[in-house]
Amino acid sequence: MTNKLIIFSYDFPPSNGGIARLCQEIAVGQQAYFEEVIVLTRKKVGGSNPYNFDKVQIVALTRKRIQCEKAAFTYLRNIKNKENYTILCGVWHPEATISILAGFKNVFVLGHGTEFLSGTSKFRKYIWLPIYAKWILSKTKVIIANSNYTKCLIESINSQVKVVALPLGVNEEFFKPNELKSNNDEVLKIASVSRILQFKGYDFIAKTIANLPENFKDKIQWNIGGTGSYLEELKALVHQLGIAKNVTFHGFIPDETLPYFYNSNDIFVLCTREQPNSTSVEGFGLVFLEAQSCGIPVIGVRSGGITDAIEEDNGGWLIEQDNEEQLAKLLINLIKHRQLVKNEGVRARERVLQKTNWKIYNKKIFKILSN
């Protein structure tokens, strides 16, 4: 097997987002298995560094596109004894393309979901995915999908490639329960955090809360973290529905304060949609694991890869997409039976400790990379 690992990903802290965090956790975790771990990424401006950022060896490329690709190609091409290296690419384009053209054979790719959807683009549907992506994926050793949903997407593009579904993990030492847990059984505090985009289903949650009977609506406090293109429209909708007193917008939540945010609430809810002819999808949903790791039970929908992130009645619940009746019934039940919230929170934490933390994930991904 090889003894050196290069993680080639444009998405890497202090950039925000799930891919950046995933690559960061792999970079830190694989140092226990490889003699050397190098991260090849673009220079970053702004953002917040994660809790273990100082443990990572980084080769920073220029931020300017084209120049960045040229610099990455030159760096990789000039590496001698390429057979001693394994390259793990954050996405298949352009990282895997550059790695293959630079002469590497041990190329692995992380699959997330969105990058394998064509949406309404004829170019993506007839050229980008079935020709270009199919060819690049055929040159890789293994594609490591973040869920069974993403695995199916990849296999629909190229059924001959080797794809392994490996659901993500979470840092259970950073995301952990604390004394901030609410003891107020009168109000159910709901947390939602993500980029504020239309497909994330915030409008659906808002309408569900607005249509609850008054005696239950008054017992809901919805705390929203994040920024995005749908934020202003969501704020307007909240006022239009008459639930402004039930909703607090917290803005962007830095990594270092995320555990505090989760622990300040009772449950976590995110109802992402899977829409026809769209390139927006929840390939997994790392935020669900983060909340569960803090002992917060979660509610999600049966769409995309969320069914791999949430195990029904083991720290969370799944509802059908845009089914207001199901969500309302569940919220009312949780308001009535607060002990159920606490019990599921305990199960959520136990699930993370036993099945879904980064230590377990890194052990599994090393086996894939070393075969």
Per-residue pLDDT of the chain (371 residues), as tens digits, is 579 999 999 999 887 778 888 999 999 999 999 999 999 999 876 655 554 555 678 998 988 889 999 999 999 999 999 999 999 999 999 999 999 999 999 999 999 998 999 988 999 999 999 999 999 999 999 999 999 999 999 999 999 999 999 999 999 999 999 876 656 678 999 999 999 999 999 999 999 999 999 999 999 999 999 999 999 999 999 999 999 999 999 999 988 899 999 999 999 999 999 877 777 778 888 899 999 999 999 999 998 899 999 999 999 999 999 999 999 999 999 999 999 999 999 999 999 999 999 999 999 999 999 98
pLDDT at 182: 59
Q: Could you give the 3-state DSSP secondary structure of residue 342?
A: helix
Fill in the DSSP letter of residue 3: S
The confidence score (pLDDT) of residue 14 equals 82
Nearest to 36 by CA among 93, 73, 84, 92: 84
The answer on 198 and 344 residing in a single domain is: yes
Query: What is residue 268's predicted lDDT score, i.e. its pLDDT?
Result: 98
243 is a domain residue? yes
Whole-number pLDDT of residue 50: 53
Do both 197 and 345 map to the same domain?
yes
Spatial distance between the Cα atoms of 246 and 274, rounded to a whole number of angstroms: 27
pLDDT for the residue 16:
72
- 304 shares its domain with 272: yes
Q: Is the domain of 15 the same as that of 124?
A: yes
pTM score, whole prediction: 0.89
Indicate whether 142 and 204 sit together in one domain: no
Contact 281, 256 (CB under 8 A): no
Structural domain contains residue 242 = yes
Pairing state between β 85-89 and 107-111: parallel
181 inside domain: no
| 3-state SS assignment for residue 57 | strand
| 234 and 270 belong to one structural domain | yes
Q: Are 138 and 87 in a shared domain?
A: yes
Given this model, what pLDDT does residue 106 score?
A: 96
Q: Is residue 236 assigned to a domain?
A: yes
Give yes or no: residues 237 and 326 share one domain. yes
| Phi, psi torsion values for 165, nearest 5 degrees | -85, 120
173 within some domain: no
Q: Are residues 219 and 277 in the same domain?
A: yes
Write out the residue range of the structural domain in which residue 349 sits: 188-354
Looking at the structure, do residues 156 and 198 belong to the same domain, yes or no?
no
Cβ(291)–Cβ(283) below 8 Å: no
Per the structure, the count of domains in the chain is 2
The answer to whether position 114 is within a domain reads yes
Domain assignment present for residue 176? The answer is: no
CATH of the domain at 276: 3.40.50.2000
- State how far the Cα of 122 lies from the Cα of 144, in Å rounded to an integer: 27
Give 152's contacts (C-beta < 8 A, 6+ positions apart). none
Co-location of 31 and 46 in the same domain: yes
- Is 42 inside any structural domain? yes
DSSP 83: G
- Give kind and range of the element (H or E) at residue 134: helix 134-138
Buried b (16+ CB within 10 A) or exposed e, 329-359: ebbbebbeebeebeebbebbbebbeeebbbe
Residues 75, 219: one domain?
A: no
pLDDT for 47 equals: 55
